[in-house]
Amino acid sequence: MENNNSDEKVYVTRINLKTATDHRKELIDFCLNGKNEFTDDEKAQGKAQFLAIGWSCVDFESDDFSVFYNTVVEYVHGQKRRLNPALNIFNEARVNDLFWTRDLDGVYWICRVTEPAKAYSNKDLDIGAVLPIEAYKFGLEVPGQIKASFNRPNGGITEKIKNINIIEYSKFMFNTLSGKNYYDINLNIANNVIENLPDFELEELVISYLQIVKGYYLLSNSIANKSTTVKIECQLISRDVNNVKKAVVQVKGPKANELNASEFKAFEDEGYYIYLYAPGVKKLEEMRNVIQITTEELQEFYREYKAILPESITQFENLFNIGFSDKN
């Protein structure tokens, strides 16, 4: 099928391919690399790639996923345990939903559901059910919100991704890698790259701006003063040994409320410069060392330094089809 109906909602989910098996490499090979018992004809038709979940310990004799689902629910409840959300994710997955996963080399893959989930027993790999997919290697650099979803402590096997830009980006990238027009892309969500970057990428762009243009360097693992409830992204210090300055920064996307500059007085009293990027900043005139970064400044920075910015930022330009040209 090509050209997915634009009115049909597409869900994007992160999933770890990790069952209770000691043969993780074989599991990845089975799911993504087509090293399984399916026929060459099936592989040629793209029917030999899967996402997989466990519970191979339950006994069932049908490939009907509903039979497997009900058996697992009864088994888990009987042990007074909590049902893993991955089971419901498989149950709810529909054709054309998208998944992000990654292999043992840390390479990210993007996957399109081609058929509903089905029961499938493989005791060695602890597979109880599979979700047939069409999957493509993406690479090591993905948008920060996708990467953070995989790296989040206690993040679980699966997590729905709800950011609209990431959803549209996922659709765009699958179209690109598959060479087929499965998805209509909603470009109405963006007027330019800067105003529509996801939160992680916007923060990274602002921090890059402070380091490259304003002459600071980032103190890794820096955190805000614990005496304040104001969230600070990070702490920086100037490179000029003859004029040492320390700074903090807060970044808010276009849908956030305006910031109140006076709420950062505690930082100013401690000698910090405070850089703010937000839809608006009030009471700026009451503060000496609070500096508002404008969208125009970031746009100019993006144009001039795009070649050295992380691909996780610049790749959104392809999605939004802006193409910052000299006439902008």
Q: How confident is the model at residue 190 (pLDDT cuts 50, 70, 90)?
A: very low
Residue 43 region by backbone torsions, left for phi larger than 0, else alpha for psi between -120 and 50, else beta: alpha
pLDDT tens for each residue of 238-289:
999 899 999 999 999 877 889 999 999 999 999 999 999 999 999 999 999 9
Question: pLDDT tens digits for 130-163?
Answer: 999 999 999 888 887 888 889 887 778 999 998 8
As annotated, the residues of the chain forming the CATH 3.40.1350 domain(s) are 194-320
Task: Indicate whether 235 pLDDT > 80.
Answer: yes
Record the tokens describing residue 254, joined without a space: 């276009």
For residues 260 and 248, give the distance between their C-alpha atoms in angstroms, rounded to a whole number: 15
Cα–Cα dist 287/265, whole Å: 7
pLDDT band at 323 (very low <50, low <70, confident <90, very high): very low
What percent of the chain stands above pLDDT 70?
86
CA pair distance 43, 122, nearest whole angstrom: 19
Residue 106 above 90 pLDDT? yes
- Contact yes or no for 190/324 (Cβ under 8 A): no
- pLDDT tens track for 51-94: 999 988 888 777 899 999 999 999 888 888 888 899 999 999 99
Residue 199's pLDDT is 83
pLDDT score at 42:
54
| 194-320 CATH | 3.40.1350
The CA-CA-CA angle for residues 245, 246, 247, to 5°, reads: 125
Give yes or no for a contact between 179 and 161, defined as CB atoms under 8 angstroms apart. no
Which of 115, 112, 116, 106 shows the shortest CA–CA distance to 174? 112
Q: What is the pLDDT of residue 45?
A: 54
DSSP 67-115: HHHHHHHHHHHHTT-PPPHHHHHHHH--TT-EEEEE-TTS-EEEEEE-S
Kind of pairing between the strands at 290-292 and 272-277: parallel
